Amino acid sequence: MKLDPTKMKNWEIAEAAENNIKSIFQLAEEIGLQKDELLPAGHTLGKVHFAKVLDRLKNVPTAKYIDVTAITPTPFGEGKTTTTIGLIQGLAKCGKRPTGAIRQPSAGPTFNVKGGAAGGGLAQCLPLIPFSIRLTGDIDSVTNAHNLCMVALTARMQHERNYDDERLAKRNLRRLDIDPDSIQIGWAIDLCAQSLRNIRIGLGGKNNGFEMNSGFQITVSSEVMAILAISKNLGDFRQRIARIVVAKDRKGNDITAADLEVDGAMTAWMLDALNPNLLQTMEGQPLFVHAGPFANIAIGQSSVIADLVATKLGDYHVTESGFGSDIGYEKFWNLKCRISGLNPGAVVIVATVRALKMHGGGPPVRPGAPLSEEYAKEHLDLLEKGCENLIAHIEIVKKSGVRPIVCINSFSADTKAEHKLIKKIAEQHGAVAVVSEHWLKGGEGAVELAQAVIDTCEQKNNFKYLYDYELPLRKRIELIAKEVYGANGVSYSEIALEKLKTLEANPATQKFGLCMAKTHLSLSYDPEFKGRPIGWELPIRDVLVYKGAEFIVPLAGEIKLMPGTSSDPAFRRIDVDVNTGKVKGLL
- Please identify every residue annotated as catalytic: 80, 82, 103, 114, 295, 323, 411, 439
Does residue 390 contact residue 426 with C-beta atoms inside 8 Å?
yes
Asked if 232 contacts 549 with a C-beta cutoff of 8 angstroms, the reply is no
Contact call for residues 362 and 386 (beta carbons, < 8 A): yes
> Which are the contacts of 26, defined by CB distance < 8 A and separation ≥ 6?
none
Integer Cα distance of 483 and 466 in angstroms: 9
Round to whole Å and give the CA distance between 461 and 282: 32
CB contact at 8 A, 77 and 434: no
Q: Which residues neighbour 301 within 8 Å (Cβ) at sequence distance 6 or greater?
A: 103, 229, 291, 295, 319, 321, 322, 328, 331, 332, 335, 336
Q: What's the rounded Cα separation, in Å, for the pair 389 and 359?
A: 7
Question: Which of 484, 455, 487 shows the shortest CA–CA distance to 348?
Answer: 455
Beta-carbon count within 10 A of 58 CB: 8
Which distant-in-sequence residues (6+ apart) come within 8 Å of 424 by Cβ?
none
In terms of DSSP bridges, do strands 316-320 and 98-102 run parallel, antiparallel, or are they unpaired?
Answer: parallel
CA distance to 327, 518, 566, per residue, from 500 (Å): 21, 17, 35
**What whole-number distance in Å separates Cα of residue 206 and Cα of residue 224?**
30
What is the full DSSP assignment across 480-517?
A: HIIIII--SEEEE-HHHHHHHHHHHHSHHHHTSEE--B
C-alpha radius of gyration, the chain, whole number: 24
β-strands 98-102, 346-351 pairing: unpaired
Between strands 316-320 and 64-70, the pairing is: parallel
Instruction: Note whether 408 and 448 are within 8 A (CB).
Output: no
Could you give the CA distance from residue 358 to residue 95 in angstroms, rounded to a whole number? 38
Pairing of strands 277-281, 98-102: unpaired
CB atoms inside a 10 Å sphere around CB 139: 26
Contact of 70 with 289, CB cutoff 8 Å: no
